[in-house]
Structure formats: C-alpha cells, structure tokens
Structure 1
Amino acid sequence: MEEKYKYPSLEILEKTPKSGVWYVILNRPSRRNALSHDFFIHFPKALYALDHDPDVKVIILSAAGNHFCAGIDLSILGSTASNSGSGESLRRQIMAMQDAVTALERCRKPVIASIHGACIGGGIDIVTACDIRMCTKEAFFSVKEVDLALAADLGTLQRLPLIVGFGNAMELALTGRTFTGEEAKELGLVSRVFDSKHHLDQAVMDLAQAIATKSPLAVVGTKMVLLKSRDLTVDQGLDYVATLNSARLLSSDLTEAVTAQKQKRKPVFSKL
C-alpha cells in the first residue's frame, strides 16, 4: 500500500497499486474522528494534491476506528469563540472552515463517502459535500448543532435539502434527532446500506474501481455538470453542458471509446 501524502489526522493511500482509487481516511479514532484545527487546515490541501495527481481517478473518504465522524471537536468551538477579537474575525474563521468542506465539491475527482458508526454534526457537513454516500446499517446520523445552540454552518443546511428534500431537512435540523442508516437510505442521503463494514468496504471499492475504468475526462465533466446544474435553470444547464462537450468531443478519449467497443476490448484513456 502506497502512502505518498502525509497530513496530520489523515491517512492517504492507494490500497491497490495502480488502481487509481485513493483513500482519504479520517485518522483520529481515539476522538471518534472529531474534526480538529489540523483537519480544516490540511484536508483541503490533501484534496487539492489528489485532484492534481494524474494517477488519482476516484477518492474514497472513510474513517479509522469505530465511527466515521463525531462532528467538530468541541475544543474548537470554545477556542474559536474566545480567541476571536470581533464578529468579523469569527465570520472569517467560519468561512475558512466552510471552504475546507467545499473542497470536496471543488475537487474534480469523484469522492465516495464510506460511512460507519457515528456521522454527527460536522460529519453530515462533510458527507453532504461528497458525490456518493454509502453506509452500514448500524451507522447513525444527527444534524446535532441545534443542541449546541447553533445553526449548522459548514454546508449541511445548504446541501442536505437538495439531497433529502426541504421538509425532511427542516425536521432533521430542527430536532437534531438521531436517524439510522436504513432511514438515511429511505431519505436518499445514502444510496446503499450494508450489513457490515466488511461488506461496505468491498462494495465501495468495487464501485470506485468501476468508475476508475471510465474516461477521466468524462467522469470529471459529469461531476462538473451535475454540480453546476444545481444552480441553473434547465436551459442554462443545457447551454453549459453543450459548451463543455463542444471541447470534450474533440478529445482522443471519444475516439478510443468508440474504437475499443468496435474491437471488443477495454479502452485505454488518457490521464488528466
């Protein structure tokens, strides 16, 4: 297993050599992977590095230990509030933390969240910014910020309604109640639920490897269009994808895909 990227509280490696599937593993198991200051500094840097690595095709976001993420480390909340000289200073700190989560969407490579155990507060912020989410049936979720006298401010209130619907998001955010992996599937927060972490790990890897066989140019373009289209009308979205594909149709990947189908072989696509 190769590990060429090193960041505090993160483990980044390619478990299967030359697969193009890289893992970003939250690695503070003793704190249930609560999000530290280091996380918000280094997580976007790690994603930027992976995004610009031509050998990386798909990213799996998972976690060490028994839980995916227990949310923001409570010590951050206390120190951030006490060390901020003004409301504007505090606002800038919050926006920097928001940007660290948005880095998941900014990353051109698709990111699959593999969720087990607790996914609470900041954990929800993170997974709603991922492209695909899968979990174990024992996983449990909570938009917990309301119980800390806060409104969730790192993306959940913006992204969750687009995933589960406005009414469902409103109920979950206002109550802060815990919901199960099975309910997360019913709501559409996750696409699949598995009986064990072993089965989850295998299914996520299989999915990532399947995506990794596609044209990187097509995969990146598809993610870009889907994310952009959230903020556009249908006509605007169609115009955007027409402009995008007017350049992509000239790529060698299209010729390779057609030729490979005719020759009944696996295509060999160019790296980004």
Structure 2
Amino acid sequence: MTMANTVARAARRGGVRVAEILLLPVVLIALWWGYSVVSASYYTATPGEIATTFGEVWFSERFMVDVVPSVGLLLAGFALAAVLGTTLGVVLGLSPNTRATVEPVLEFFRAIPPPVLVPLLMLLIGVNTPMKVAVIVSGCVWPVLLNTIEGVRGVDPVLADTCRCYGVRGRRWLTTLVLRSASPQIMAGLRQALAIAIILMVISEMFATTSGLGFSIVQFQRSFAIPEMWSGIVLLGLLGVTLSIMFAWVERRVLRWYHGVRAAARDE
C-alpha cells in the first residue's frame, strides 16, 4: 500500500507538472486564436490555418531541401564555435599576460554585431556554406570564450595546490582540474551560444541564397504567403525548443557531479 501511494503521489506530481508546463502555451494560443478571428488584418493567420499549412509546407520535400541543411549549418557553426571558444578560453584563462595583451583586440571584435559582417564575409569567402558557418561562428564564439576564461580563472587555488602536491601534471591536470572546474561556466556559455546560433543561421540564409529556413520565410513574406510565413516562424520556435531540451539532457549528464555537489550542500 505504501509503495502504491508513493507511485500515485509521484504520478499526480508529474501530471501537475505537465499541466503547469502546457498551461501558458495553451493560453497564448487561445488568445492568438481569438485575436486572429476578430482581427481584420490580412497578415494575421489563425492557429488552425497555420497548423494546416505547416503540415502541407514542411511535411514535404521542402523538409529535406530547407530544414535539414539549415539544421546541419547551425550544428556545424555551433560545434566549431564551441571548440574554438573553449580552446582559446583555456589558453587565455591560464595565461594572464597573454590575456592582458589580446584583451583590447577581443573587446574590439566582440563589439561588432555579427550581421554586419555578412556583406564582408560574402566578399571574402563568397556566397556559400562556409560563409554561413563563419557568420554563426562569429557570434557564437564570444559567450563560449568569455565564460571559459572566467571559469578557468575561477579554479579553486586549494584544489590547484592539492594537484600540485600529488604530482598531477599535463593533460591529466587540464582535464581533471581545469576543465572540470570550469565546466559549469563553459556549459552556460554553450547554452547562450546555441540561442545565438539559431538567430545567425536565419540571418545568414537571408542574403543571396536559394534555400534554407531563413530564405523560405523571406520568400513567403515577399510573395504574401502569410500562413506559410507564420508556419516557418513556428518551425523555428519548435526547433529552438527541441535543441534546448536536447542540450539540457546533455548538460545534466555532463554536470552530474556538479548538481550532486550542490544537492549535498543544500542537504547540509
């Protein structure tokens, strides 16, 4: 009986949690539906029209032509920015002199909005996939780089001294102490970079290209295909939610030790 009661309470808590998660989206869709029905604007499509159009547009060959290449472009730019930002962040975080030397240059380039670089990259690289990847990297690398630097700088000196006393050196010291200690901030930077990558993916596909989600949405807007345009925007939102859920799943496993330490500290 006790086990049955425990399972029942867990099920009720799970049901309440699901209801809480779905409540706001349902309310927003209902408000949107009501506004679109009473609105006389041609540019406001109802959720029903968008849902019907969504299936017709994206559950077709357009999925392979536009969606899959865009997702591949996003993941390629994000992965490259993650590797580049983490590597440079570790180097600069471990070397105060190098960091002081390059900091003015980093601040200069960080202040340049990535969309401004699109025309320049089109001239230097051309209108192709490497140009789009470069646009994504130019914006995603900064949160990863800066968070990695701060994470490496914040390594506990006591742990560093302990590793030194036990003769932990080289790659083992880097992976066991530095990267492990900085991993919470690195993951925070990666989460920020993922959101930026979605934005820059769309922007990179709006210039002189013939495929991709950004291109399709702009084409729908220019041809006054309003339900199709809204369906593309909804697809971008669903893509962002899906990537966020996947990233949270990976983050929980990478930082399992960190969450365990925090839980133990709370229990004390």
Instruction: Please indicate the TM-score interval, normalised by the length of the shorter structure.
Output: under 0.3
* TM-score, normalised with respect to structure 1: 0.24
Higher relative contact order by CA 8 Å / sep ≥ 6: 1 or 2? 2
* TM-score, normalised with respect to structure 2: 0.24
Could you say which structure has the higher strand fraction? 1
